[in-house]
C-alpha cells in the first residue's frame, strides 16, 4: 500500500509541475483564476479545520483533482504545441502544410 501511495504522490507532483505554465498561458481567463481560487481556498480551509492529517488528505482530494485536471490539460497542450513546432521546423522553406 505504501508503494502505491508513493507512486500516486509522485504522479501528482509531476502533474503539478505544469501548474505555473498553465497559469501563465491562461492568465487572461477569469475561469482559470476562479478554479484556482476555489480549489486552493477550500484546501486551505480544510487544512485549518481538520486536525487529523490522514483525514485532511482524503478531504482535499476532490479539490486537488480539479487542479490536477487543469495541469494535465496543460501538459497535453504543451505536447501539441511541441509537436506543431517540430512539424513546422521539419517542413522545407516555401512549402505549406496540406
Query: Which pLDDT band, with edges at 50, 70 and 90, does 97 fall under?
Result: low
Q: Where are the domains of the chain?
A: 32-81
Quote the pLDDT of residue 21: 94
Examine the pLDDT at 70 and tell me if it is beyond 80.
yes
Distance CA 39, CA 82 (A): 29
Please identify which residue in the block is written with the cell numbers 505554465.
21
Using DSSP, state whether 41 is helix, strand or coil: helix
The lowest-confidence range among 30-34, 69-73, 87-91, 92-96 is 92-96
Asked if 39 and 65 count as a contact pair (C-beta separation under 8 A), the reply is: no
Quote the pLDDT of residue 53: 84
Cell of 48: 485549518
With the C-alpha atoms ordered 47, 50, 53, 58, is the resulting torsion angle positive or negative? negative
pLDDT in tens, 2-55: 888 889 889 999 999 999 999 999 999 999 999 999 999 999 998 899 888 888
Alpha helices in the chain (DSSP H): 2-16, 19-25, 30-49, 53-90
Query: Which pLDDT band, with edges at 50, 70 and 90, does 71 fall under?
Result: very high
Distance CA 93, CA 32 (A): 38
Distance CA 69, CA 44 (A): 19
Comparison of pLDDT for 59 and 22, the residue scoring more: 22
Q: What is the pTM of this model?
A: 0.78
Amino acid at each position: 500500500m505504501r508503494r502505491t501511495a508513493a507512486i500516486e504522490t509522485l504522479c501528482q507532483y509531476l502533474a503539478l509541475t505544469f501548474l505555473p505554465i498553465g497559469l501563465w498561458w491562461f492568465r487572461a481567463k477569469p475561469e482559470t483564476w476562479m478554479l484556482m481560487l476555489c480549489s486552493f481556498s477550500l484546501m486551505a480551509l480544510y487544512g485549518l479545520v481538520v486536525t487529523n492529517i490522514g483525514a485532511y488528505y482524503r478531504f482535499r482530494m476532490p479539490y486537488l483533482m480539479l487542479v490536477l485536471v487543469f495541469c494535465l490539460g496543460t501538459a497535453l497542450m504543451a505536447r501539441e504545441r511541441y509537436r506543431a513546432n517540430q512539424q513546422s521546423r521539419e517542413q522545407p522553406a516555401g512549402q505549406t502544410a496540406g
